[in-house]
Amino acid sequence: MAVRYLRLALASCVLASHGIAAAADALNPTCPKDLNWSTYPRMKFTLDTSAGVRALRAEGTIDEDVAARLQEALQANDPVEEIWLRSPGGDARAGNEAGKLIRKTGIPTRIPAGWACFSACNFIFMGGPIRFVDPNGLFVVHMFTHLGDKDAVRSELSKGADTAIGLIGDVEQDSALLASEDNDFLIRMGVSRKLLTEVMYQQKAVASGADDKSTRRCLTAAETVKYNVANAQ
């Protein structure tokens, strides 16, 4: 066991050596302008042994069947010593299910140097019982929203007051359920619930206002420790 974690520590050093400072995002000043979170339209799983460990790279958008495909990838590449994450997020509930699966397997998770894990990716990452955020690795949060398709929302609202009231009711109900699920997930994973109240839920769901248009927040290294997002160095 000691040898295994020595290898994991060495892997962290190798990955951190590739981190590169980037210009800040004017609209989201806690984050770099360009976030390296992969452009795969569907999360892709590949085995990587370049850092001396058997790491499963999980990269791309989180789709509704991600947990099932992750299970298949873990079986096909057994043994897997770490899971590396690089994703712009996607299906929130699917991310929760994948995170729960990782917790059952006991496999550590890592956000390597220069990689970004955003939105639903947060919950996959927090499934790891041992969690590493390498220097220059980014754990990026936002306030979830069900109003991403603005054209669809405008279309619904244009149908009249009754339709608008129904839409608002549906959004409020599902938002409350998702918030409850997120809270329960953090408790189960040993992450501080203050991550939700002090950081995630403080962000805007959509850009608005003349001065502050920030809709995402990149945690500092100290904050990942404060909220127990990263519990290993």
Whether 143 maps to a domain, the answer reads yes
Kindly state the DSSP code that residue 90 receives in the 8-state scheme. B
- Across residues 102-124, what is the average pLDDT? 97
The residue type of 192 is S
Whether 132 maps to a domain, the answer reads yes
pLDDT in tens, 3-41: 444 445 445 544 444 444 568 898 899 999 999 999 899
pLDDT for 224: 98
Whether 231 maps to a domain, the answer reads no
Do 47 and 77 touch, CB atoms closer than 8 A?
A: yes
Whether 233 maps to a domain, the answer reads no
Spatial separation of the C-alpha atoms in residues 24 and 19, rounded to whole Å: 15
Residue 151 in this model has a pLDDT that exceeds 50: no
Beta-strand ranges (E) seen in the chain are: 44-48, 55-59, 82-86, 109-111, 116-118, 131-133, 138-141, 217-218
In the block, tokens 């360009």 appear at: 34
Residue 219 in this model has a pLDDT that exceeds 90: yes
DSSP per-residue codes, 196-223: IIIIGGGS-SS--SSS-----EEPPHHH
**What residues contact 209, with CB distance under 8 A and at least 6 apart?**
none
Cα 61 to Cα 5, 41, 89, 233: the distances in Å are 30, 5, 6, 27
- Based on the structure, what is the number of domains in the chain? 1
- Domain of 62: which CATH number? 3.90.226.10
pLDDT in tens, 198-210: 998 888 766 666 6
Host domain of residue 35: 2-226
